[in-house]
C-alpha cells in the first residue's frame, strides 16, 4: 500500500526553506484562499482509481476470462468505499459492447469471470470498467485493456500474410497487393474462394472475388485517390465456403503515409525571447508512435535546431524562438519527406520550466514571463491526484524565479506544477513523474521444484515494503502453462496503471517498460511522456464557481432509487412503496420505504443478486393503491469513443510462437449453450434422440403447480 499523501497549506517558513533563489514579493493570503477552495472542491468530488487483473494476456473463443478487481481512493490508495459496484464492458473491434455487467465490490475488492461463449467471435477486444461515480471525471479515468481472442485451429481459423507496394504516378496511386492464407500449423490453404474488400470506414472502395493458387496466395491491384483517409482503411477478407471474415487495418505507406507529428512547448505556450524545451510525438496510421528525426528551420531556411525521437515516437529539444518568426520541422520517414509548422511564439505571457532530470534528489521549477505578463500577480501550486503539496503567490514576475523542491517531499506518481493568474485560470502547466522506488517486494516459493499430475502444490507468498517489513494486503495470482503463455513485462500492470496511465491523456504504449528498469534513458523517456501526453489536470475555474450536484451519483451500497410523480408531474410525498423479489439464494424478500418531500425514495443495502426481477407497488397515505408514476434511477452507460489505435489482429503476419501454440493447442469439447466453467461434475457427450408420432398432444410441464401447456407437434427433438 502506498503511503497516505500529506496535504500542505503553504506557510512563509516553508517558502523560505524551499525557495532560496526567489527574488520577488509574496502574497500568502491569495494562495491560502486558492488552496482552501481547491481542498473543498476535492472533498466534494473525491476521485477513484480502478484496476482489473486478468489471468491471461490473450484467449481463444470458449475460454473463460477470470479476473480480480481493485478499487482505490485516488488520493491515498486506500480501498474506496465510494462505490459498491463496478460496471464492466467487453467491447469488440467494431466499438460495439457485446457484454455489460456489474460486479460487487467489498472493501475495494471484487472478482468475477466472463465466459467467451459461441456469441463471441475472434478478434481484438477491449475490457472497459468504471464506477457510476467515475463518469463525473471523464473517460480518461476509466480502466481499459486491449487483448486478442483467437479462434482454435479446429474451427478452421486462418493466418493471413499481407504485403503490398504503392506506386505513385501521373494517374494516381496504384497498390499491388499480395495475400497468403495458411492454417495455424502453417499449412497453405489452396484453391479457396475468397472475397476481398477495401474499406474506408464503412464505405467500400474496392471489391473482388479470387481463388487462391496452390501456394495459398493471390494477387490483385487497385487505385487509391489522394483524398483517401488512410487512417480508416481496412481489408475485409471473406471465406466464401464458411462465411468467416477477417479484417486487417491497411496502411498504404509510401507517398500516402500519414504521420501526425505534434509539437508541445513546455508549459503550454511558446514565448518569444525565452529558451524553451519543446516536446514532440509522431503517430503513425496505426495510432502508435513512430520514430522520427529531422531539423527545425526558420523563415530564411536556416537550421536552428534538430530533433530525434527517443522512445515510441516521443522526444524533446531546445529552441529560442524569436518574435514574428515562423519555424518549420522537416523530417523523413521511410524515404518520404514531410514538413510541419511549429506553433507561433507570442510576445506576452508566463510559463513554467521544470527540471526533474539533472538532480537525483531535487526538482527545479523556473517561472518566467515576458511582455505585459511580467507585472501581473500569479500563484504557483504543486499538486498530485491526492491533493496540494504546496503553493505560493507572487505580486509580479520580475527577475529570475527558480524554486528548488526536494523529491522526498512527494510520493511516487505524477506531480503537476500549475501557474494560475488572478482569475484562477491556469496559464501554464508542467507535469513530472516522481519515482521513490518504494514499491512492494513480492516473492513466491513452492514446496518442491517438480510435481506429478494431480499433485497438490503449496505456494507461499511473502510481501514486504521498501524497508523489508511484512505487508498485509489482498493479492491475485494466476497459474498458466509456460509453453503457451508468457507475461509481457512491458504491458500495463497495477503499478503502471495506478501511478501513470490512469492520469494520462490518450493511449500509452507499453507503460510497464517505464518501470522495468531504473536507468537514465528510462527517466528521459518518462519525462518526454509527461511533456507530450500530460496529466488530466485540475480545473481551477470550477473552484470559484457555485458547487453543483454531480451528474452521476455515488453508489456506496447496492441500492434502488427513484422518484414518484403525480398529476402535472408534481412530486408525490409520504407515499408507501413495497419492494418484492425472490431468489434461490435469499428466498422471498419484502421491503418498504416512504417517499420524501421531493417524491424521492431509496431501498438501501440490497443483496448483490446475479440477476434480479422485482416488483414495486405504491400506496398512498390511506394505504390505498396510488396512481403515481414510478421513475427509477437506472444506470446510464458511458458513451463509446472510437479508439484511434489500430493494431494488426492476431491472425495477420503472426510471429508470436507462444500465441500461435496457444491458439493451436488441443481443445476440450465444446457444446453450444453450455458454459463448461459452470458445470459441476462430469459433462457427458451430447446425444440426440428423435421420436416420431402422429396425432395426440405433446405436453410440456411447467413450473406452475399442476398447470400444463399443450402443444400439437408431429416431431420433437430432445438433447441430453
Average pLDDT over residues 235-241: 94
**Cα–chain-centroid distance for residue 558?**
25
* pLDDT of 661: 85
C-alpha grid cell, residue 96? 460495439
* pLDDT of 545: 67
Let me know whether 386 and 331 are in one domain: no
Average pLDDT over residues 60-66: 91
In this structure, the dihedral spanned by the alpha carbons of residues 534, 540, 541 and 544, taken in order and rounded to 10 degrees, is 160
* pLDDT of 40: 85
Let me know whether 421 and 358 are in one domain: yes
Which tens digit of pLDDT belongs to each residue from 303-349?
Answer: 999 999 999 999 999 999 999 999 999 999 988 999 999 999 999 99
Average pLDDT over residues 575-593: 87
Give the DSSP letter string of 386-431.
TEEEEEEEES---S-EEEEEEGGGS-SEEEEEEEEETTS-EEEEEE
Is the per-residue pLDDT at 256 higher than 70?
A: yes
Q: Of 159-163, 285-289, 459-463, 666-670, where does mean pLDDT reach its minimum? A: 666-670
| Surface-to-core class of residue 201, CB atoms within 10 Å of its CB (0-12 exposed, 13-18 middle, 19+ buried) | exposed
The structural domain count of the chain equals 5
In a domain, 104, yes or no: no
Give the DSSP letter string of 443-486.
EEEES-S---TT----EEEEEE-TTS-B-----------TTT--
Please, what sign has the CA dihedral across residues 604, 606, 611, 614? negative
In a domain, 180, yes or no: yes
Average pLDDT over residues 438-449: 91
Question: Torsion-angle region of residue 695: left (phi > 0), alpha (psi -120 to 50) or beta?
Answer: left
Is the per-residue pLDDT at 536 higher than 90?
A: no
In a domain, 470, yes or no: no
Residue 152 CA to residue 192 CA, distance in Å, equals: 20
Domain boundary among 341, 362, 391: 341
Residue 356 CB-half CA count within 13 A: 28
pLDDT category, 1, cuts 50, 70, 90?
very low
Let me know whether 361 and 325 are in one domain: no
Residue 30: domain span = 12-43+348-436+538-543
Full-model pTM: 0.86
* Residues belonging to the chain: 720
* pLDDT of 506: 87
Let me know whether 189 and 236 are in one domain: yes
Let me know whether 356 and 413 are in one domain: yes
pLDDT category, 538, cuts 50, 70, 90?
low
In a domain, 462, yes or no: no
Report the Cα–Cα distance between both ends of the chain, in Å, rounded: 51
CATH of the domain at 202: 2.60.40.1930
* pLDDT of 537: 59
Let me know whether 214 and 273 are in one domain: no
Is the per-residue pLDDT at 706 higher than 70?
A: no
Let me know whether 170 and 191 are in one domain: yes
Give the DSSP letter string of 508-526.
-SSTTHHHH---HHHHHHH
Q: Of 18-27, 77-86, 368-377, 621-630, where does mean pLDDT reach its minimum? A: 18-27
* pLDDT of 152: 78
Query: Of 610, 619, 609, which is closest to residue 589 (Cα–Cα)?
Result: 609
Question: Dihedrals φ, ψ of 133, to 5°?
Answer: -65, -35
* pLDDT of 713: 31
Is the per-residue pLDDT at 692 higher than 60?
A: no
Average pLDDT over residues 362-389: 90
In a domain, 506, yes or no: no
Q: Of 222-231, 466-475, 508-517, 703-712, where does mean pLDDT reach its minimum? A: 703-712
Which tens digit of pLDDT belongs to each residue from 619-663?
Answer: 887 778 888 999 999 899 999 888 888 888 888 867 778 888 888
Let me know whether 571 and 619 are in one domain: yes
Q: Of 151-160, 317-326, 489-498, 665-674, where does mean pLDDT reach its minimum? A: 665-674
Let me know whether 285 and 322 are in one domain: yes
Let me know whether 224 and 288 are in one domain: no
Which tens digit of pLDDT belongs to each residue from 181-217?
Answer: 998 888 899 999 999 999 999 999 999 999 999 999 9
Domain boundary among 284, 307, 341: 341
Among residues of the chain, what percentage have pLDDT more than 70? 87
Q: Of 168-172, 184-188, 478-482, 559-563, where does mean pLDDT reach its minimum? A: 168-172
Highest mean pLDDT among 19-23, 87-91, 118-122, 706-710: 87-91
Let me know whether 590 and 626 are in one domain: yes
Distance set, CA 344 to CA 265, 325, 474, 581, 680 (Å): 11, 8, 52, 65, 68
* pLDDT of 677: 58
In a domain, 137, yes or no: no
Which tens digit of pLDDT belongs to each residue from 8-58?
Answer: 333 322 333 333 333 334 456 778 888 888 888 888 889 999 999 999 999
* pLDDT of 667: 75
CATH of the domain at 399: 2.60.40.3760
Average pLDDT over residues 561-579: 92
CATH of the domain at 276: 2.60.40.10
Let me know whether 627 and 695 are in one domain: no
* pLDDT of 11: 31
- Per the CB < 8 A criterion, the answer to whether 126 and 643 are in contact is yes
* pLDDT of 69: 97
As a whole number, the mean pLDDT across the chain is 85
Domain boundary among 297, 312, 341: 341
Average pLDDT over residues 67-83: 95
In a domain, 493, yes or no: no
* pLDDT of 15: 35
In a domain, 484, yes or no: no
Is the per-residue pLDDT at 606 higher than 60?
A: yes
Amino acid at each position: 500500500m502506498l503511503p497516505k499523501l500529506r496535504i500542505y497549506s503553504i506557510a512563509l517558513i516553508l517558502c523560505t526553506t524551499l525557495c532560496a533563489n526567489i527574488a520577488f514579493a509574496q502574497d500568502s493570503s491569495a494562495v491560502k484562499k486558492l488552496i482552501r477552495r481547491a481542498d473543498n472542491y476535492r472533498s466534494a468530488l473525491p476521485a477513484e482509481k480502478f484496476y482489473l487483473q486478468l489471468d491471461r494476456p490473450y484467449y481463444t473463443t470458449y475460454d473463460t476470462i477470470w479476473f480480480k478487481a481493485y478499487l482505490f481512493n485516488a488520493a491515498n490508495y486506500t480501498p474506496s468505499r465510494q462505490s459498491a459496484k463496478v460496471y464492466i464492458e467487453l467491447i469488440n473491434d467494431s466499438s460495439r459492447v457485446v457484454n455489460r455487467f456489474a460486479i460487487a465490490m467489498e472493501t475495494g475488492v471484487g472478482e468475477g469471470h466472463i465466459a467467451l461463449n459461441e456469441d463471441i467471435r475472434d478478434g481484438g477486444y477491449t475490457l472497459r470498467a468504471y464506477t457510476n461515480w467515475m463518469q463525473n471525471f471523464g473517460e480518461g479515468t476509466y480502466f481499459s485493456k486491449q487483448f486478442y481472442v483467437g479462434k482454435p485451429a479446429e474451427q478452421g481459423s486462418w493466418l493471413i500474410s499481407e504485403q503490398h507496394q504503392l506506386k505513385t504516378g501521373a494517374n494516381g496511386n496504384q497498390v499491388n497487393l499480395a495475400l497468403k492464407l495458411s492454417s495455424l500449423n502453417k499449412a497453405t490453404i489452396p484453391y479457396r474462394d475468397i472475397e476481398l474488400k477495401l474499406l474506408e470506414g464503412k464505405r467500400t472502395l474496392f471489391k473482388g472475388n479470387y481463388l487462391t493458387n496452390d501456394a495459398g496466395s493471390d494477387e490483385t491491384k487497385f487505385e487509391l485517390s489522394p483524398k483517401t483517409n488512410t487512417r480508416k482503411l481496412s481489408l475485409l477478407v471473406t471465406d466464401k465456403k464458411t462465411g468467416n471474415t477477417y479484417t486487417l487495418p491497411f496502411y498504404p505507406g509510401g507517398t500516402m503515409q500519414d504521420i501526425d507529428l505534434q509539437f508541445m512547448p513546455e508549459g503550454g505556450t511558446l514565448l518569444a525571447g525565452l529558451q524553451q524545451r519543446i516536446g514532440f510525438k509522431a503517430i503513425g496510421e496505426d495510432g502508435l508512435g513512430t520514430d522520427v528525426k529531422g531539423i527545425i528551420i526558420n523563415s530564411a531556411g536556416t537550421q536552428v535546431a534538430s530533433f530525434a525521437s527517443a522512445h515510441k515516437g516521443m522526444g524533446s529539444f531546445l529552441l529560442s524562438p524569436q518574435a514574428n518568426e515562423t519555424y518549420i520541422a522537416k523530417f523523413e520517414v521511410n524515404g518520404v519527406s514531410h514538413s510541419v509548422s511549429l506553433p507561433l511564439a507570442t510576445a506576452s505571457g508566463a510559463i513554467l520550466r521544470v527540471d526533474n532530470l539533472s538532480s537525483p534528489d531535487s526538482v527545479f521549477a523556473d517561472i518566467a514571463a515576458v511582455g505585459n505578463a511580467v507585472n501581473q500577480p500569479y500563484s504557483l501550486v504543486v499538486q498530485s491526484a491526492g491533493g496540494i503539496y504546496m503553493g505560493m503567490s507572487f505580486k509580479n514576475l520580475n527577475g529570475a524565479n527558480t524554486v528548488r523542491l526536494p523529491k522526498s517531499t512527494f510520493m511516487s506518481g505524477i506531480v503537476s506544477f500549475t501557474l494560475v493568474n488572478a482569475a484562477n485560470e491556469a496559464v501554464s502547466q508542467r507535469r513530472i513523474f516522481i519515482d521513490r522506488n518504494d514499491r512492494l517486494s513480492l516473492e513466491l516459493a513452492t514446496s518442491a521444484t517438480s510435481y506429478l499430475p494431480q499433485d497438490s502444490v503449496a505456494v507461499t507468498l511473502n510481501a514486504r515494503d521498501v524497508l523489508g517489513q511484512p505487508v498485509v494486503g489482498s493479492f491475485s495470482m494466476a497459474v498458466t502453462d509456460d509453453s503457451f503463455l508468457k507475461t509481457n513485462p512491458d504491458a500495463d500492470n497495477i503499478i503502471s496503471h495506478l501511478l501513470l496511465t490512469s492520469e494520462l491523456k490518450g493511449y500509452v504504449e507499453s507503460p510497464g517498460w517505464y518501470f522495468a528498469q531504473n536507468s537514465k534513458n528510462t527517466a528521459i523517456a518518462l519525462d518526454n511522456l509527461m511533456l507530450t501526453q500530460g496529466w488530466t489536470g485540475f480545473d481551477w475555474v470550477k473552484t470559484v464557481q457555485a458547487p453543483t450536484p454531480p451528474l452521476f451519483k455515488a453508489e456506496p451500497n447496492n441500492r434502488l432509487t427513484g422518484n414518484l410523480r403525480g398529476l402535472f408531474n408534481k412530486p408525490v410525498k409520504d407515499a408507501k412503496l413495497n419492494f418484492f423479489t425472490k431468489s434461490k439464494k435469499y428466498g422471498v424478500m419484502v421491503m418498504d420505504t416512504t417517499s420524501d418531500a421531493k417524491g424521492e425514495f431509496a431501498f438501501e443495502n440490497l443483496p448483490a443478486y446475479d440477476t434480479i426481477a422485482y416488483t414495486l407497488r405504491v400506496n398512498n397515505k390511506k394505504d390505498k393503491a396510488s396512481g403515481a408514476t414510478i421513475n427509477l434511477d437506472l444506470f446510464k452507460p458511458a458513451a463509446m469513443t472510437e479508439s484511434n489505435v489500430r493494431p494488426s489482429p492476431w491472425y495477420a503476419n503472426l510471429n508470436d510462437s507462444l500465441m500461435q501454440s496457444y491458439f493451436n493447442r488441443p481443445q476440450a469439447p465444446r457444446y453450444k449453450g453450455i458454459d463448461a466453467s459452470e458445470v459441476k461434475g462430469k459433462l457427458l457427450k451430447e446425444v440426440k434422440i428423435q421420436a416420431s408420432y402422429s396425432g395426440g398432444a405433446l405436453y410440456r410441464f411447467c413450473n406452475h403447480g399442476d398447470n400444463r401447456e399443450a402443444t400439437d407437434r408431429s416431431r420433437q427433438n430432445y438433447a441430453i
